[in-house]
Structure 1
Amino acid sequence: MQIAFVNSTHKWGGVKTWTLDVALALKKYAKTNCIILGRKGPFLDKAQELSLRTYEIKFGPDYNPITIAKFITIFKKENIHYVIVNVGKDMRTAGVAAKILNIPVIHRVGLPGDMKNKIDVRLMHKWIKPKILVPCEYIKQGLLKNLPFLQSNEIKVILTGKEPSPTPPQKVHTPLQFISTSQLNPDKGHKDILFALCKLKQQGYDFHYHIVGTGKSEQELKQLASQLQLNDKITWHGFQKNVRNLLKKADVFILASYSEGLPNSLLEAMAEGLIPVARNVGGVKEISPSHTFLWEEENLFLSILEDLLNTQEYKLLKLKKEIWSFFQKKFNLLQKSLELNDILYKINSKK
């Protein structure tokens, strides 16, 4: 089987991470040839580091005949059986090329708002007839609500998978180590975390909080942490290429985002056996091992952290191992990639 993954977006997002994870897994376990097509930059660089074959594409305007012709040439040369796209520009270039060649198109949608109820979207969908792939039921229901031209059977849910740590957690750190790996932007809710940690420190609790990432709120958050006298409780790691190594050094993952689809960061943390304390938004509850760790009110968030800080070490270690086991059974990358593989074969059998 030969698959072309196409992504014209400029910024790194969850779909790009999913693309590389799945392409690697399919190559390794299903002997599938995957090629990655996108703009010059970190996405293609990372794909090449992972020994995936890439094509640099200059997309230009929508329906660009030069770009469409280039895709046709590549798809023919590579004998592509399926084209997996991300956003509208992908559909209006690579999707057109695939339709001309009678190649099935799969549209991987990361958020309900990524597809708009506009006439060009409706017409392209009617003509190309792509299958839509989403990472959680929350996104599927959002699409059906926002896009009345879609039918439920057109949308397939495959929960995002990650490669679990090869061994379960072996220790709980002293003091308890919290970590967040979201971008430092206002919608990620870091302020709420800092205010909660300030209250915990005032109550005499010992802990440490690792903040990974950068963003437009970075300086504001650092000033707030200083005002709340939390500098001795926080390490700012900035951008990190290997987040998983830092996750191994923590015990509790905190996700305070005000909106999410299905967050890769939460999945990565659970793959390492971290206890996931998350705001109940988007598809988070679809992957949470227990509603005990979900919160909506700030008081409940504080209470969850207090309970964890008061829990005996051996119970916390048992909990971390249970989360690792839960993840391995439910969200293993191999399992989810093979689910996609099966769907592709079924699409081909119906052509």
Structure 2
Amino acid sequence: MFVVTKSNLGGAQRYVFDIATALPKDAFDVVALCGTAQDSESAGPLIDMLRHAGIRTIFIPDMVRDVRTFNDIRALSSIVRTIRAERPDIVHLNSSKAGGLGALAARLSGVQRIVFTSHGLAYDEPRFFLSRFAIFLATWMTFVLSHRVICISKDTARRAARLPFCARKVRLVYNGLHAPEMLERDKARAQLLSVFPDIPADLPWIGTISELVPNKGLPYALKACEILRRSGGRFVFLIVGSGELQQSLTALIAERGLTEHVRLLGYVAQASKLLKAFDIFTLTSRKEGLPYVLLEAGFASLPVAATNIPGINDIVKDGESGALCPSDDPELFAHALSELLEDEALRMRLGSSLKKRVETDFNVEKMLSGTLAVYRD
């Protein structure tokens, strides 16, 4: 039984879908408990995807991301009732809210194998001290109540193992991908230009696919673009995605004189299919679990410039398969972009190296075998 807080399409949901659909059907009868979509009280697209793949799903409408006392009590009651009705051998929990409620419900119901996957430590996010402390306690209790904790980056695994009573529970299992379907460069560019004809086709395209939220560090990327523009760099930076910072980023682009150099493209369906349209891929996150979009960029053989933070540096090795820069040094990031723009051979070498690394170390087969080992441990 999988339990996940939100049923929109984020990293944790993709992880649940990939493992649930890859488990051998002759050995596992899979059911997924899913909460609401992002900022909604209705079911999200993950539920339809799982059902289309033949996975039984149960919608828990009271399971929402934010703390809502009465909803949380009702969600806990629903999960307990469902677990006692389904009687699963394994409960596999994903994301913070589902982890806390699900671990408690599974313990109350006598489940013999409770596995929690930590997609990052929620208390790392910038919040008021009391909020962070409460989230820290909730995270630690989830770890304690679980029999095993899967971490998807080395740093998260190291820090989780240091928590009291957790050292023997923690296992490192990287996310993995099947080689995604992608359009070749010319077709991908043509498709983007058909929707966004104002993109300069004669300039190098630096691109990212990202939610427009604080954790993604996009103001840092814009500062680097401003430095690059002032030094005479020829480029256009394409930001694919939507989110709460749409208006503030639009204003920042104008304020820094970047209206000719940056385009906010908004949500683009199946955006990863268009990755080969870019010449360079960037990811300027301040916090990550293990970003799927970086694995997809690797499969596209793109050279990557990114911030040197846990999760990202599990995938990209600086100077070998990409360029990594401190998350507080936009000048160095601008310099890394400039080097990539000017050196096609460097772009080819880094992109090829990243593709080999992703194919070898971050495939679904490795993720599944590691997860099965945890189930049987």
One fold, TM greater than 0.5?
Answer: yes
C-alpha deviation, 1:231, in angstroms: 2.5
Where does residue 300 of structure 2 map in the other structure? Answer: 272
Where does residue 132 of structure 1 map in the other structure? Answer: 149
Alignment pair present for 1:53 and 2:56: yes
Pairs within 5 Å for 1:308-319: 308-312=340-344, 314-319=345-350
Instruction: Look up the SS of the partner of 1:197 in the other structure.
Output: helix
- State the alpha-carbon separation in 2 of the partners of residues 140 and 198 from structure 1: 37
Where does residue 213 of structure 2 map in the other structure? Answer: 185
1:168-207 Cα shifts (integer Å, max 9, x gaps) = 9778996322111222123322122222223323333322
Q: Is the contact between residue 273 and residue 320 of structure 1 (CA under 8 Å) also seen in structure 2?
A: yes
Query: Are residues 12 and 319 of structure 1, via their aligned partners in 2, closer, same or farther at CA, if it must alter by over 3 Å?
Result: closer
Q: Is the contact between residue 178 and residue 207 of structure 1 (CA under 8 Å) also seen in structure 2?
A: yes
- State the alpha-carbon separation in 2 of the partners of residues 231 and 49 from structure 1: 42
Where does residue 250 of structure 2 map in the other structure? Answer: 222
Structure 1: any 5+ residue segments left out of the alignment?
Answer: none
Instruction: Look up the SS of the partner of 1:277 in the other structure.
Output: strand
Higher RCO (C-alpha 8 Å, min separation 6):
1
1:257-284 Cα shifts (integer Å, max 9, x gaps) = 2222322332222232222211112222
Where does residue 44 of structure 1 map in the other structure? Answer: 47
Instruction: Look up the SS of the partner of 2:306 in the other structure.
Output: strand
- State the alpha-carbon separation in 2 of the partners of residues 125 and 188 from structure 1: 26
Q: 2:14 aligns with which of 3, 17, 30?
A: 17
Where does residue 34 of structure 1 map in the other structure? Answer: 30
C-alpha deviation, 1:322, in angstroms: 2.7
- State the alpha-carbon separation in 2 of the partners of residues 111 and 120 from structure 1: 10
Query: Are residues 326 and 34 of structure 1, via their aligned partners in 2, closer, same or farther at CA, if it must alter by over 3 Å?
Result: same
- State the alpha-carbon separation in 1 of the partners of residues 315 and 292 from structure 2: 11
Q: 1:163 aligns with which of 178, 187, 204?
A: 178
Q: Is the contact between residue 132 and residue 154 of structure 1 (CA under 8 Å) also seen in structure 2?
A: yes
Query: Are residues 118 and 302 of structure 1, via their aligned partners in 2, closer, same or farther at CA, if it must alter by over 3 Å?
Result: closer
Alignment pair present for 1:243 and 2:259: no
Alignment pair present for 1:320 and 2:351: yes
Instruction: Look up the SS of the partner of 2:260 in the other structure.
Output: helix
Q: 1:334 aligns with which of 365, 373, 376?
A: 365
- State the alpha-carbon separation in 1 of the partners of residues 264 and 52 from structure 2: 27
Where does residue 302 of structure 1 map in the other structure? Answer: 334
Alignment pair present for 1:282 and 2:326: no
Figure out how many residues of one structure are paired with residues of the other and give that number: 333
Where does residue 107 of structure 1 map in the other structure? Answer: 116
Structure 2: any 5+ residue segments left out of the alignment?
Answer: 36-41, 63-70, 124-133, 190-200
- State the alpha-carbon separation in 1 of the partners of residues 183 and 78 from structure 2: 51
1:281-315 Cα shifts (integer Å, max 9, x gaps) = 22221111435610012222111111111103x55
C-alpha deviation, 1:255, in angstroms: 1.3
C-alpha deviation, 1:9, in angstroms: 4.0
- State the alpha-carbon separation in 2 of the partners of residues 337 and 251 from structure 1: 32
Query: Are residues 89 and 334 of structure 1, via their aligned partners in 2, closer, same or farther at CA, if it must alter by over 3 Å?
Result: closer
Identity %: 21
- Residue identity in the other structure for 2:151: V
Where does residue 82 of structure 1 map in the other structure? Answer: 90
Q: CA-atom RMSD, angstroms?
A: 3.2
For structure 1, which segment, 157-166 or 303-312, has the greater mean C-alpha deviation from structure 2 after superposition?
157-166
C-alpha deviation, 1:131, in angstroms: 0.6
Alignment pair present for 1:252 and 2:255: no
- State the alpha-carbon separation in 1 of the partners of residues 332 and 139 from structure 2: 45
Q: Is the contact between residue 32 and residue 56 of structure 2 (CA under 8 Å) also seen in structure 1?
A: yes
- State the alpha-carbon separation in 1 of the partners of residues 185 and 76 from structure 2: 54
Q: Is the contact between residue 282 and residue 306 of structure 2 (CA under 8 Å) also seen in structure 1?
A: yes
Q: Is the contact between residue 2 and residue 92 of structure 2 (CA under 8 Å) also seen in structure 1?
A: yes
